[in-house]
Structure 1
């Protein structure tokens, strides 16, 4: 039987994966639109924020559910 902590961690992992997928999809569809509409520095800041948030979500999911949380490292 799963404990409340493991259920909570699985919920967080699902949420992080959904947000990561959503941010990637938004970035892919927005690049052509923003390339012509914004200046290059603004565009790179925007894309860097999206990529950075996806990296943060990946890192958090690894910390919550990766080998470190299972005591394998």
Structure 2
């Protein structure tokens, strides 16, 4: 199953987290979302939110100038 892509590069503070929460609500259980962000706070915010919300953080991959977070929706 191919992951949906959410490009949050250029967003700051809680922008990537809020965009991720909004997009995850539209996905079906088990679907994957790949979030691209260059916001350093997301390195802490997204894993903490995944744990709290019950989603699985499948992978975090540093890219050249951003991070890629692969998240699997719970259920």
- Is the pair's TM-score, using the shorter chain for normalization, greater than 0.5? no
> Of Structure 1 and Structure 2, which has the larger fraction of its residues in helix?
1
TM-score with structure 2 length normalisation?
0.29
Q: Higher relative CO (CA 8 A, sep ≥ 6), structure 1 or 2?
A: 1
